[in-house]
Amino acid sequence: MRLILNRITQSAILVTFFLFPAWYRLPFSIGGSSLYVTRFLILVPMLIAIGTWLIGGVSGLRAVRQSRWGAVWALALLLWALWASLSQRWAFVGIAHPEVGATAALQWGVVALFAVTVASTAPPARQVVATLLISLVGNSALTIAQALHQGGFGLRALQEFPLRANAAGLSVIVSGDLRWLRPYGLLPHPNILAGTLLIGCFGAAAHLFHERPRLRILGGMAALIGWGALLYTFSRAAWLGAAVGGLAFLLMVTPVLRGAIRRAVIVTAVAAAGIGIGFGIAYLPLLTARTGIGEEAVEMRSIADRLVFTDFAWRSIQERPIFGVGVGNFPWRASYYISETFYDLQGDNVHHVYLSAAAELGIIGASLLVLALGAGVIGGVAGVRDAPSPATRAEKAALVAGSIALAVIGGFDHYPYTILQMQTAWWACLAVALAKTPQRR
């Protein structure tokens, strides 16, 4: 029975990794709840994994507890989720709109339990990165097709958002008379799409270290396709995350860079550089506009809005430094700040994960988040170092690098903190990396 439960748990974990790029919402709420998060398809395999792990007697948890950094990571992450849940008691709009804090608290509770489940059951890193590669190929193909087509394809069965370059409210780049629609994939914003592509690219790159030449070729090709799709998102934060995460990945795999593996990495890196240069030449006006050099109104407004919400976050932290305004409540607090100004804005999250955590959960919450992240990265790097083979080392290094990339993105965007799919990706990748070798029963 325990073996069956473990297989169900492992399968549910892989399905969750596959669904990172999907915003698919069910026609019904799980458990009959009215909370927004309970209609996401990705929540189903997450709850199945958690449930079967609990029914099976929380197998593998002892190994996490016996690992110094794994124990600190798990404890800090669970305490963070608990603190987020408690914050509903003092939430800014807790009385008028209790569903705001309840939804955010439920998200973090499920993500924390899922991450601990992953670390305990220790799914093989090879299966995880293979799942990410498969997901990346389909995600990249749709991304590139949307970018070239400058619109969506009406994939209603997959809940693709209606995309048209001239539609209001969509993310576009304007350069002179040129109006260019950024691709969305199956997600509600190109920046979130970029985050999923980035994780997939690292998963594909891990295949460059496989002992089989065919899988090295497959991994290199998938990584290059994903890189091209990532460029089309025009996500500045994701590009920076790719650079920092890529450097971290190379540092972790340097000891096994030799022979055929080194040649595969060099060829892929040169090809990626060529794609980047070609993209830069072909889309130079859009790149210039996106960087703000051309002072296009759309980009300048985006930068100005982010500065406004950053200022609001600091004000909120100063007003409630210990407890914060409650999980999920900062956009509502920001809307009250806006009502005192002439700004034509609506309440929104600050584009900074760590400021968000401090504003919503105070110094205690922000400290727990940073502690969990630091312990997770250190534990993940230790898992890379202790890997039994070059391939496993690269697979775990790719997952750590992806988490580091999301941590970097968190300094410029909020989705690793607010979006269920990306919350899960951030912490589940660390969980696989720091987990001990797969349990065999």
Query: Per-residue pLDDT tens for 299-357?
Result: 667 788 899 999 999 999 999 999 999 999 999 999 999 998 888 888 999 999 999 99
Here the tokens at position 286 are 């859009």
Is the pTM here over 0.85, yes or no? yes
Residue 151 has pLDDT above 80, yes or no: yes
Distance CA(435)–CA(288), nearest Å, equals: 43
User: At 175, which amino acid appears?
Assistant: S
Here the tokens at position 184 are 């969305």
Query: Per-residue pLDDT tens for 132-142?
Result: 999 999 999 99
CB atoms under 10 Å from CB of 340, counted, come to 7
Query: Per-residue pLDDT tens for 42-94?
Result: 999 999 999 999 999 999 999 999 999 999 999 999 999 999 999 999 999 99
Query: Per-residue pLDDT tens for 95-109?
Result: 999 999 999 999 999
Here the tokens at position 324 are 């914060």
Q: Strand pairing partners for 173? A: 180
pLDDT at 212: 94
Conformation bin of residue 189: beta by default, left when phi > 0, alpha when psi is -120 to 50: beta
Query: Per-residue pLDDT tens for 351-390?
Result: 999 999 999 999 999 999 999 999 999 999 999 999 999 9
Query: Per-residue pLDDT tens for 253-283?
Result: 999 999 999 999 999 999 999 999 999 999 9
Residue 295 has pLDDT above 80, yes or no: no
User: At 311, which amino acid appears?
Assistant: D
Phi, psi of 95 (to 5 degrees): -80, -50
pLDDT at 296: 59
Query: Per-residue pLDDT tens for 206-224?
Result: 999 999 999 999 999 999 9
Picking from 18, 15, 17, 20, the residue whose alpha carbon sits closest to that of residue 45 is 15
pLDDT at 160: 97
